Amino acid sequence: MPFSAKAIRILIASPSDVSNERAAAVETIQRWNDLNSESRQIVLLPVRWETHGAPEYGQRPQEIINRQLGDKCDLVVGIFWTRIGTSTGVAESGTLEEIERAAKENKTVMLYFSTTPQSPDSIDLEQLGKIRSFKDGIKDKALFYSFSDISNFREQFLRQLDIQVRQLVQDEQDPETSVERVPAERIIDFQFADPKNFRGMGLRRSVAISYFNVTDFDAIPDYKGQKQGQKQSHNALAGQPNANYYRQKVTAAVLKSAVAPVPFVLTNLGEIGARDVYIDLKFSSKSSDSGGLTILGESQIPTSEPEKMGALWLVAGPSPNAPDEVLKEGAVWSSSMEIPALQPQRQVIPKNKLLISARRSIEVEIQATIYADILAKPIVKTLTLDMAVDPADWSYREILTALGEELPA
């Protein structure tokens, strides 16, 4: 049945070396129409000079193309590979003139650059240099996307086209709020989370830990089992006494006090869902030395108490025999987090649970580099963690007594 629809004209601007990509852009726009036109009552019209231009005499050729095509379009898609194009007398090329003209009129411009390998014999070095200069000139005022092949371009362009169509419709429906769009670099927010309720805590927070320095750790004796005269275990799985039992108990006590959780919260501030969100984290001390900085995964801290008998201890899982086996000092630590999907206007607590430790009070800088399919380039956030460390010297006997353990002879 017939249906009414709003038409949005999309100019495809590009030099001559991306004819396949131009055709792919048209096919992708038609694909969007097949999926969305009837339900959303919107039709996208791809516009190209070879299909929508008409011969005309009396003006500069590019000026005719601008008037016939570009000025009537609502959105411009620029595609580049190794060429910038031929100078028009006004701009470096017709493609750049179309893009700059649209930008001055506050129209949406989507830019794509192919990274597909090219035969060295067919590369015009002068043209390639102009492409690089163009990219360098716009990197501080535009977000652009690089694609490796036609398939990659189709997939990303379809999704990103939908983002821009939604924004165009929103701007038309609510012009008062369309002036201040959420900048692309703020589409995804990343900050500390409160360990208790996981609410956002901003880009700076403080943690406090206690570090027990065991002054006589090397003097801890082996565990030799029950004293003579005590009832022996009849459990056939008990096996031999765990000689490292006392060392493991002391180590567990040190680790319990020496680490603090560092949870983060990720928020999609935009109106479009993000996929394949990847966060690269780098931790470093802002002091002249590392301060004993250690970053751990939650799995590196034993969740069960050490067992006195060897077999049962093995069933429960091995425990570290000394704090230094876990708390390994490093100048820079790296970690990463992955989230398959992040819905719009939603918050997610990454499953990766990180723990932090230090031997003295330090300030830790955390650089988070965020990648996602809706971002043309990664977002970089810098967070600061103020660590307050309360160091204390303890003997192993003091720790075992505090734990209610019978002291070894």
Q: How do residues 366-376 score in pLDDT, each as one tens digit?
A: 999 998 877 76
Residue 172, CA distances (Å) to 69, 103, 166 in order: 21, 18, 10
The per-residue pLDDT for 44 is 94
What is the CB-side half-sphere exposure of residue 192 using CA atoms within 13 A?
Answer: 19
Domain end position, chosen among 161, 181, 201: 181
275 and 391 in one domain? yes
**How many domains are contained in the chain?**
2
| Number of Cβ within a 10 Å radius of residue 397 | 16
Please tell me whether the overall predicted TM-score, pTM, comes out greater than 0.85 for this model: no
Among residues 176, 375, 358, the alpha carbon closest in space to that of 259 is found at 358
Instruction: Give every CB contact of residue 7 below 8 A, 6+ residues apart in sequence.
Output: 42, 43, 44, 45
Report the SS3 class of residue 51: helix
Q: Which of 125, 148, 181 is the last residue of a domain?
A: 181
In a domain, 409, yes or no: no
Residues 87 and 157 in one domain: yes
Could you tell me the residue range of the domain that residue 272 belongs to? 188-402
* Cα distance between residue 136 and residue 187, in whole Å: 23
**Pairwise CA distance, residues 51 & 46, whole Å:** 9
Nearest to 150 by CA among 174, 115, 119: 115
Q: Which are the contacts of 375, defined by CB distance < 8 A and separation ≥ 6?
A: 143, 184, 187, 188, 274
CA–CA gap between residue 187 and residue 179 (Å, rounded): 16
Instruction: List the CATH number of the domain containing 318.
Output: 2.60.40.10
Q: Any idea what the CATH number is for the domain that residue 86 is in?
A: 3.40.50
pLDDT (tens digit per residue) in 292-347: 999 998 888 887 888 887 644 444 456 899 999 999 888 899 999 999 888 888 89
The DSSP bridge partners found for residue 42 are 6
In a domain, 208, yes or no: yes
Q: Name 102's Cβ contacts closer than 8 Å, sequence gap at least 6.
A: 11, 70, 73, 76, 108, 109
Residue 10 has what pLDDT?
Answer: 95
What pLDDT score does 177 carry?
45
Domain membership of residue 408 (yes or no) is no
144 φ, ψ (degrees, to nearest 5): -130, 165
Residues 197 and 338 occupy one common structural domain? yes
Residue among 218, 143, 205, 153 at smallest CA distance from 20:
153
In a domain? residue 324: yes
Q: In 18-93, which ranges are continuous DSSP H helix?
A: 19-40, 49-52, 61-68
Three-state DSSP state, 387: strand
**100 plus 229 within the same structural domain:** no
In whole angstroms, what is the distance from residue 78 CA to residue 161 CA? 13
Question: Over its length of 409 residues, how does the chain's per-residue pLDDT go in tens digits?
Answer: 677 888 999 999 999 899 999 999 999 999 999 988 887 788 999 999 887 777 878 788 888 888 888 888 999 999 999 999 988 888 889 899 999 999 888 899 999 999 998 888 888 889 999 999 998 888 777 778 899 899 999 988 998 898 888 778 777 655 554 444 445 556 789 999 988 887 899 999 999 999 999 999 999 999 987 654 444 444 444 568 888 999 999 999 999 999 999 999 999 887 777 888 999 999 999 888 888 999 998 888 887 888 887 644 444 456 899 999 999 888 899 999 999 888 888 899 988 889 999 999 999 999 999 988 777 678 899 999 999 999 999 999 999 999 998 887 6
> Residue 322 domain-assigned?
yes
Amino acid identity, residue 18? V
168 plus 269 within the same structural domain: no
Question: Where a domain ends, among 146, 165, 181?
Answer: 181
Residue 282 tokens, joined: 């780098």
